[in-house]
Structure 1
Amino acid sequence: MREEESTMNRRVFLTTTAAGAATFAFPAVLRAQSKDPIRIGFPAPLTGPFSAIAADMKQGAELAVDELNAKGGILGRKVEVLIRDDQLKPQVGAQRTQELIEKEGCQFIVGGLAAHVQMAINEQTKKAKVLFISTSQSDEISAKPDTSPITFHEALNPTITSRVVGKWVMENLGKKWWIVYADYAWGKQNNMVLSETNKKHGGTVLGNTPYPLGSAEFSAHLPKIQAAKPEVLVSCTPGADNIAFLKQVKSFGMHQQMKIAQPLHWISVAKQGGPELYQDIYGGMNFYWELQDGNPDVKRYVDSFQKKFGTPPGEYGVYAYSAILEVARGSELAKTT
């Protein structure tokens, strides 16, 4: 195939996502049309502290594939999603992605649920010239040097989330904060943006406490935070760490001494923790199923999800569902896979 014939127009694909345009070489995607299934690789942390969120993403992806195949697939070809456990480790995420592309013939990669892992996934997809749609919050994934003409981002990012939630916390809960954050890309990004937002609105951050992701032991830090008497304890503790953090904070009686806020609520995690644990915990949300009351598309999605899985959808499952459908829309518009 000549070079000019292996060039796909990004404007064609991005028409489906209302984004910009550029022309780029995309040889791994432009294959001769056949009736073989279109394979979409999906690395996600099925084990570890993000397992509940990853399970929601897995369900969203599976629902999207079911809907596509019920309508004839993509360009008449059946769609398969191959979900692999990246163990929330960058090196494993990179390895799984490489295997999905080289050994299992995936034409697209969707997924990733932690900023540091999705960047490792992205390095592999860029190297192989395979389109990647990230489904996790990250600032770097859509900025140089990590972004690329074939790197797409389905989720919000920490800057958007923490600016909005931080401003609301300043206006409604208090201006003296203490921030506890997971010491990896997502946590660091939120800590930085929250601290900047607090300062911009005339507040004071009394302290910032990092901790290793997945090592959810906070009791040694809590007496110092109590002694500082913040008006708001801001938690950037994702996944199962969030449950452990809130249990320890409440065991110290801190929920009666200060407000507790966090950039995000994770529906699947809150289901595990239970309503009592999450009572009076303030946070932002990417999606909530009651949006169906005012949006017919959301209602259709929620109804389909509940019919298939017997439970309302979470917010990260929506990212996965949407990303799979974007692969289909882009392929149909470009008339190629």
Structure 2
Amino acid sequence: MNPKDVMTVSRRTLLKGAALGTVAGLAAPAFLRTAQAQEAAIKIGFPVPISGPYSTEAQDQVRCAEIAIAMFNDAGGLKGRKAELLVRDDKLNPGEAATRALELIEKDKVNFLCGSLSAAVQLSVNQVAKQRGVIYNSISQSDSINEISDFSKYTFHEALNPHMTAGAVGRYVFPKFGKRVAYLIADYAYGHEMARGFRRVGKEFGVEEVLEIKHPLGQTDFSTLFPRIQAAKPDVLVVCNFGRDQLNTVKQATDFGLKQQMRIACPVLLFSQRLAGGAGPFEGVIGGANYYWGLEDKFPSAKRLNDAYRAKNKNAVPTDYGALGFAGIYALLEGVKKAGGTDPDAVIAALETLKYDAYKGEEYFRKCDHQAVQSVLVVESKPQAQVKSEYDVFNIVDTQPGEDKFLRSCQELGHS
């Protein structure tokens, strides 16, 4: 076949032959292989617990992640190459999460992974990702994921971590409300790491720990624990749990009268659970947050996210953990744009030098451990008399700025 014959082969024949690896006995031309690679979707696997006790938060993470994908695609993608989100239910189970992550990599051929909503689950996903050289951006709180034993160059952590979150809340709460502290702790990694963060910052203020009670994930009745807490006479009850556990704890503590005797603080005060529980049970409860929709008055990026969310969700606003779904995908795709492609080493290099404003001002990944350095909000739940609209539920009472000094040092984490 002479060069003229090659040029007269139709595009349809070329594409059909390329799928078989030949065109009339010839290998697919290099220009065609390059074009196919450029046209392939940028696939991001998104394992989150869309069923189970954290389903409310996880489902909003999916909604917000889809907004980040749509923004990227609507802006033209990467030279016309569009992104695709592949959602999987990890069922809040490390084994299930590992299976889904492996499936996404091996079967679906994803370029990246993002997601998870449990300290233990994200470590499971991270193990699979780093073994197979796939970049993973976690959107759940964890201290361990940045430590040298779990970290790899493929590991990124968009979420806050317990050291940052508990530190911000503790610095606000302990000087104002007293030094006698009781802990109610969900008995798994999230609860343990959050309590460790409070204890660490508590040493700065001479905090006296008067009681620790652990409870299993998914407990529904907390009332049997309250007499012990009352007997310990704390100034502050620190509630280190999440999702429906947080809702049940706060509602039952209010019914039991605990708030008349002590202040309640949570490392993460969830917008979704406050909406579910109402103003009365949550009144006066203080906690940390990565995001609150009211930031739109200060940051154009917050308004951008809120407006996109409102347009797709009947004028509702994104939750705090939902916003992490947006930011996790947004950061990956900003890295892809800066790298000019999806090669893992190129994207890693891009992310390590990236300055990005997803939803609340500038963030960046610290190079040694790939932790997103960002602000932490301290919020207090409003009484009903101050609530002006359905979603007007928190006052931002303090903001810890995004600075390295609020993170554990690279040396402490084991990085040279």
Normalising by structure 1, we get a TM-score of: 0.88
Match of 1:193 among 197, 200, 209: 197
Match of 1:318 among 314, 318, 323: 323
Residue identity in the other structure for 1:313: P
Gaps of 5+ in 2: 1-34, 343-416
Q: 1:214: which partner in 2?
A: 218
Q: 2:68: which partner in 1?
A: 64
Match of 1:330 among 310, 335, 356: 335
Secondary structure class of the residue paired with 1:297? helix
Counting aligned pairs with the same residue, the percent is: 40
Q: 2:266: which partner in 1?
A: 262
Secondary structure class of the residue paired with 1:33? helix
Secondary structure class of the residue paired with 1:284? strand
Give the alignment of 1:172-321 within 5 angstroms. 172-310=176-314, 311-321=316-326
Contact 1:179 1:236 in 2 (8 A): yes
Gaps of 5+ in 1: 1-30
Normalising by structure 2, we get a TM-score of: 0.72
d(CA) in 2 for partners of 1:133, 1:197: 27
Residue identity in the other structure for 2:133: K
Q: 2:387: which partner in 1?
A: none
> Higher relative contact order by CA 8 Å / sep ≥ 6: 1 or 2?
1
Shift of 1:59: 0.9
Q: 1:18: which partner in 2?
A: none
Shift of 1:66: 1.1
1:120-177 Cα shifts (integer Å, max 9, x gaps): 0000101111110000111111111111101100011100111111121111111111
Give the alignment of 1:59-98 within 5 angstroms. 59-98=63-102
CA-atom RMSD, angstroms? 1.5
Shift of 1:32: 7.6
Contact 1:33 1:336 in 2 (8 A): no
Contact 1:98 1:124 in 2 (8 A): yes
d(CA) in 2 for partners of 1:151, 1:126: 7
d(CA) in 1 for partners of 2:197, 2:338: 37
Contact 2:139 2:158 in 1 (8 A): yes
Contact 2:46 2:114 in 1 (8 A): yes
Q: 1:134: which partner in 2?
A: 138
Match of 1:114 among 105, 108, 118: 118
Secondary structure class of the residue paired with 1:336? coil
d(CA) in 2 for partners of 1:152, 1:218: 36
Shift of 1:183: 1.0
